[in-house]
Structure 1
Amino acid sequence: MTFLSWLFPKLPEGATGLMNLGNTCYLNSVLQCLSHTEYLTEFALQYKLPYYIKGDQQRHYTESVAESMIQVIQQIYSAQSTISPKEFLITFRAYNKSFCNGEQKDAAEFLMLLITKVDSDLRNQTYSVPPPSVISADYVQSFVDYSLKNRSIITQIMGGMIHTHLECSFCKASNDFSEPFTIIQLPIQIMFSTNNCKMPYITLYDCLESFMQSSHVCSVCFKLQTPYRTFVATPPILVFQLLRFKQTEKGSEKDTTRVFYPLRDLVVSGVKYELYSQIIHYGKINSGHYTANCVINGEWFAFNDGSVDKIENANVMNSSAYLLFYKRTETPK
């Protein structure tokens, strides 16, 4: 090993930075996490983009937001240096004008808009992906019907379903319904010790429990009730958003409570998952910065716009984690 190779080690395939085009760290972070989502990456790398011939060169072009995203993923895995997502940004802004003002945006909002559009663009284009883990056979037909009507690579890898049973303790009305999801929004429930002092941290399991038990309004008497929720099916890729940004009497505020989350062996309804990507939000609600951490070949790398650095596992756990991407490692026996 030469001194230069030691000083500037060669990064693995996929460890490519994205240029910041002016308050686009939210976009770069989301694209990095999606680019390191196993099945989506495989789908994108084998996707044949349309092209035209100019002179003796073949040049690709894109016809949708989905194809623009796919082009970025292909460039991330073929480039030798930082790339610009300018064409993708132009295409996305043409689809959603609210992103044209050049202001900082919420990464979770952008992720939801992006995967919803990609799901629509790639409807009926599927890939060989392991099926979801069926948790509740009683309600699985609802998920089957939903999946058949909404077939795409997005629903294949990120689509799950939760069933809610509500029995009102006031009017005795009961209601059952199932809802699909691609991102689970988790409230950060503040924990208290036995002496009623506020604790500085909670766990991801606490947040998940709070979500599953969150109140629901009775459709008959309109009073709040605690429903019984259960997963019908969990997807190969499970994405959590920690709801750090809240509206209070003082306006919008960021919840800085530390949430402990497992890197491995997260168990959701008997299904095991491990963390492979995350988005971090630093700073205040209106003047912060987004970065991403992603796994490549079993090692963690930090993506800060155009900068990419290897990090140790001990540095992955971050008190400012905002979006957590987990992949399934084991299904119930």
Structure 2
Amino acid sequence: MTASSQGRPLPDGNFGNHAGPPHPRRRKAMPISDDVTEQPTTHPTMSPAPFVPTRQPAQPLTDDGTGNFFLSAYTMSAQRIASDSEWKKTPLGQTGLFNMGNTCFMNATLQPLFHTPGFSQLFQEKSAQRFVNGNNSFGTNGMISGSFSALIDLIWSGKFNALRPAIFLEFFARRVNTEMADRQQHDAQEFQLYLLDALHEDTNRVNQRQSFEQNYDDTDLGASASDFNERAKLFSSSPVNDLFNLTNISVVQCSTCNTKSVRFEVVNQLSLELPTNTDCLTLKDCLEAHFSSASLEDKWDCPKCKSKQPATRSTKIWEIPKVLIVHLKRFSLNDGHYVKNNVEVTFDVAELDLAPFLHEKSPHHNAALSLYGITDHSGRLNSGHYTASVINLISTDREWLSFDDESCIPCGSAPSPTSKHAFLLYYKRMNSKAK
């Protein structure tokens, strides 16, 4: 697997800064064919040929007259995936995904998203179509959301033991990120960032973005937060962001005169560093390190002192999302090579309390979340495998399912809360109405 796709930087998930998120994938659309021949699963150490279309293109996609290709992409994808997949009546929520040649990174990311409260319902055909904004030049004109919606509806149809989403991967390659369809191993978190960003842009309510600068102090944080939220909605706003966005508040304080500068930051997942000098730690250890105060390496240009002064920065949570994705940063660059950190992390399952990491003036007091999904990575950087464990979205007794590509095994109880394989953790706010 690669730590990042070559040639383009990752979307950072940060939609609150005045400059906005990068959009490295945006380019002229390529024609979408009606079929792609699936390549057989290969051993991770092999170097397979690229995943490319091999049949003649079908009729081109057609829009609805407003530049929205959602329905056309949905219909084409639903037909292709259904015809390529394994028909068999299956309990709802237990449909797997075939490995089409080192695509476990995609499969182990999609399954938790399929079981994310509020997310599957959002991208069902009848729901998603009304949210898609075909006029957003940063989106895919509804193509990736249409194909994804077809996948959602087939997953929850109960008619398939496993799906073969070759055409979804083709849409993703043509409109979002080409390298991730090269049948090499890739980073599941990277795939998730690109996918959520593409779905966000397809459903972005804003056509003309209004950039803005942040210039807040600490005199009235409530008013500052309200002003930031109003301005941020004029820059970027979607039902995807409404579900996943975490708002942090960062305060820089001058060590000489105590003047403070406040900045809000919106991210769609929380990436936590893992120390290399320990054999085991807890998720709360990682959170404490992430939200601890630190001295700035460079002096800060203090507006009151009118000169550069030593300063500290503290970051806390201002608003907790309905769904929080936690990324444990197991891969890092060391002497020019990416290495994996296999430290054991103990994480909260029944209840994760984020109250200690909330800003003291945050108006959001219920900070309890419960775990509903895990993406695991086992093995080494270039010869590993991704799997997923999730709580069945429709289960009334928190039934856990274990997914390994096309295989799904009901396992009843939750996975071990201590793991050296946990890579992405999925939490839902316990008072959230999303079901």
TM-score (normalizing by structure 1): 0.80
CA distance in 2, matches of 1:104, 1:223: 46
Give the conservation status (yes or no) of the 8 Å contact 1:280–1:292: yes
Counterpart amino acid of 1:315?
A: P
Find the counterpart in structure 2 of residue 300 from structure 1: 400
CA distance in 1, matches of 2:336, 2:255: 35
CA distance in 2, matches of 1:20, 1:223: 55
CA distance in 1, matches of 2:98, 2:279: 36
Change (3 A) 1:278 1:164: same
Matched, 1:309 2:405: no
Change (3 A) 1:171 1:257: farther
Change (3 A) 1:276 1:49: closer
- Quote the sequence identity (%): 27
Change (3 A) 1:180 1:48: closer
Map residues 213-252 of structure 1 onto 2, 5 A cutoff: 213=292, 215=294, 216-218=296-298, 219-220=300-301, 226-249=312-335, 251-252=337-338
Change (3 A) 1:151 1:284: same
Find the counterpart in structure 1 of residue 94 from structure 2: 15
Counterpart amino acid of 1:323?
A: L
Find the counterpart in structure 1 of residue 119 from structure 2: 40
Instruction: Give 1:115's match in structure 2, choosing from 165, 188, 196.
Output: 196
Runs of 4+ in 1 over 6 A off after TM superposition: 170-173, 221-224
Find the counterpart in structure 1 of residue 266 from structure 2: 180
Matched, 1:145 2:231: yes
Change (3 A) 1:180 1:80: same
Q: CA deviation at 1:287?
A: 1.3
SS in 1 for 2:162: coil
Instruction: Give 1:77's match in structure 2, choosing from 142, 156, 173.
Output: 156
Q: Aligned pairs, how many? A: 294
SS in 2 for 1:213: coil
Matched, 1:160 2:274: no
Deviations 1:106-152 (A, max 9, x none): 00011011101100001139xxxxxxxxxx73542223432454221
Find the counterpart in structure 2 of residue 131 from structure 1: none
Change (3 A) 1:282 1:170: farther
Find the counterpart in structure 2 of residue 90 from structure 1: 170
Change (3 A) 1:93 1:230: same
CA distance in 2, matches of 1:11, 1:31: 18
CA distance in 1, matches of 2:115, 2:224: 32
The structure in which a higher percent of residues are strand is 1
Instruction: Give 1:275's match in structure 2, choosing from 363, 367, 371.
Output: 371
Give the conservation status (yes or no) of the 8 Å contact 1:26–1:289: yes
Q: CA deviation at 1:233?
A: 1.0
Deviations 1:183-212 (A, max 9, x none): 11011135xxxxxxx642111111111111
TM-score (normalizing by structure 2): 0.62
Find the counterpart in structure 2 of residue 54 from structure 1: none
Q: CA deviation at 1:165?
A: 0.6
Matched, 1:24 2:117: no
SS in 2 for 1:113: helix
CA distance in 2, matches of 1:329, 1:16: 26
CA distance in 1, matches of 2:308, 2:401: 48
Counterpart amino acid of 2:265?
A: E
Change (3 A) 1:71 1:211: same
Counterpart amino acid of 1:109?
A: E
Q: CA deviation at 1:312?
A: 3.9
Change (3 A) 1:19 1:224: farther
Matched, 1:105 2:190: no
The range that moved more, 21-30 or 137-146, is 137-146
CA distance in 2, matches of 1:138, 1:222: 28
Q: CA deviation at 1:34?
A: 0.8
CA distance in 1, matches of 2:244, 2:340: 27
CA distance in 1, matches of 2:309, 2:94: 51
Find the counterpart in structure 2 of residue 286 from structure 1: 382
CA distance in 2, matches of 1:111, 1:223: 40
Q: CA deviation at 1:12?
A: 2.9
Give the conservation status (yes or no) of the 8 Å contact 1:188–1:207: yes
Matched, 1:210 2:300: no
The structure in which a higher percent of residues are helix is 1
Find the counterpart in structure 2 of residue 328 from structure 1: 429
CA distance in 2, matches of 1:31, 1:39: 14
CA distance in 1, matches of 2:242, 2:223: 21
Q: CA deviation at 1:322?
A: 0.3
Change (3 A) 1:205 1:11: farther
CA distance in 2, matches of 1:222, 1:12: 63
Give the conservation status (yes or no) of the 8 Å contact 1:18–1:28: yes
Give the conservation status (yes or no) of the 8 Å contact 1:187–1:243: yes
Change (3 A) 1:254 1:18: same
Give the conservation status (yes or no) of the 8 Å contact 2:154–2:160: no
Find the counterpart in structure 1 of residue 275 from structure 2: 189
What's the C-alpha RMSD, in Å, of the aligned pairs? 2.7
Give the conservation status (yes or no) of the 8 Å contact 2:98–2:405: yes
CA distance in 2, matches of 1:12, 1:274: 24
Counterpart amino acid of 1:306?
A: E
Change (3 A) 1:152 1:209: same
Give the conservation status (yes or no) of the 8 Å contact 1:158–1:235: yes
Q: CA deviation at 1:44?
A: 1.9
